[in-house]
Amino acid sequence: MSEIERESMEFDVVIVGAGPAGLAAAIRLKQVNPDLSVVVLEKGGEVGAHILSGAVVDPIGIDRLLPGWREESDHPFKTPVTADHFLVLGPAGSFRLPNFLMPPLMNNHGNYIVSLGNVCRWLATKAEALGVEIYPGFAAASLVYNDAGAVTGVITGDMGVEKDGTHGPAYAPGMALMGKYVLIGEGARGSLAKQLIAKYRLSEGREPGKYGIGLKELWQVKSENHKPGLVQHSFGWPLDMKTGGGSFLYHLEDNQVAVGFVVHLNYKNPYLSPFEEFQRFKTHPAIAGTFEGAKRIGYGARAITEGGWQSVPKLSFPGGV
């Protein structure tokens, strides 16, 4: 079969993934050198479409990237953390751990509860204002290498491919986006990152990666059940002592609450359903009251890295990071 002819575009830097890392990198590149041509590819239909986290964010990174953001009216950091609660759940009740027993990293004083999707949309406007090109709806399907084995670009996914792999009547080949440098910011277990880790042996000398499955829902709750700025983390029931995981409730603005449940993927019970455990979690007496008369307005799930710094692979490779 002859090689597919593809349209090609050239840039100084090609970034895969319009998440916080990819967009922050694009912004910083243009701040340092406005003449650089920078493109960001995003597989979601819009920036933020595949960003699941309802997050508690330390603003130190934004302070350094965009020092004047606090004076702007359209920034997404609307809800400062007002309280930290840590609960241990049992089948019949719960008890709250004193905050002084928790490690410093669990102290969220000065942090903000945000929708990370909204943060990414806001960062995208900042990037575009600096001249960054952002292409939503285009997934990077494969990598391009030069004769020396270095990465020189990516190819977006082909359109109009039939189930059997043949080209349908609406077939359109993906584009090649070539760059002097390529940044991969796909998130946990990204397909291109896995290829790069294997090809360049980036995990040699590192601990094996560990992962969890995170499930999240966004709820519109009654005003009497809403406590803006409350960050509540919990562990225990419904998971047993042999299954790792935890849960959270983050009270955002506008009577919205993000609720999440994480299960470590090394669980032994083949019949365990993380989704069903999540639903059981919401029936606990310490949790259920928040959702009385509430309406679920969003939901999703994704992989989460849990291995820690010791399992992070080498982050640079020939042609990019």
Q: Same topology for domains 8-58+118-204 and 69-110+211-305, yes or no? A: no
pLDDT (0 to 100) of residue 168: 85
Classify domain 69-110+211-305 at the CATH class level: alpha beta
Distance, CA of 179 to CA of 320 (rounded, Å): 9
pLDDT (0 to 100) of residue 232: 97
Identify the segments of the chain with pLDDT beneath 50. 1
Q: Is 176 helix (H, G, I), strand (E, B) or coil?
A: strand
Q: Write down the mean pLDDT value for the chain.
A: 93
Domains of the chain, residue spans: 8-58+118-204, 69-110+211-305
Q: Nearest to residue 23, comparing CAs of 129, 99, 132?
A: 132
What letters, b where the CB count within 10 A reaches 16 and e where it falls short, cover 46-81?
A: ebbbbbbbbbbbebeebeebbeebeeeeebbbebeb
Q: Is 89 helix (H, G, I), strand (E, B) or coil?
A: strand
Distance, CA of 143 to CA of 148 (rounded, Å): 14
Cβ atoms of residues 231 and 55 within 8 Å: no
Q: Is 138 helix (H, G, I), strand (E, B) or coil?
A: coil
Tokens 């998130």 -> residue: 187
pLDDT (0 to 100) of residue 1: 42
pLDDT (0 to 100) of residue 7: 86
Tokens matching residue 160: 């109009």
- CATH of 8-58+118-204 among 3.40.50.20, 3.90.1010.20, 1.10.3720.10, 3.50.50.60: 3.50.50.60
Number of other CB atoms surrounding residue 208 within 10 Å: 8
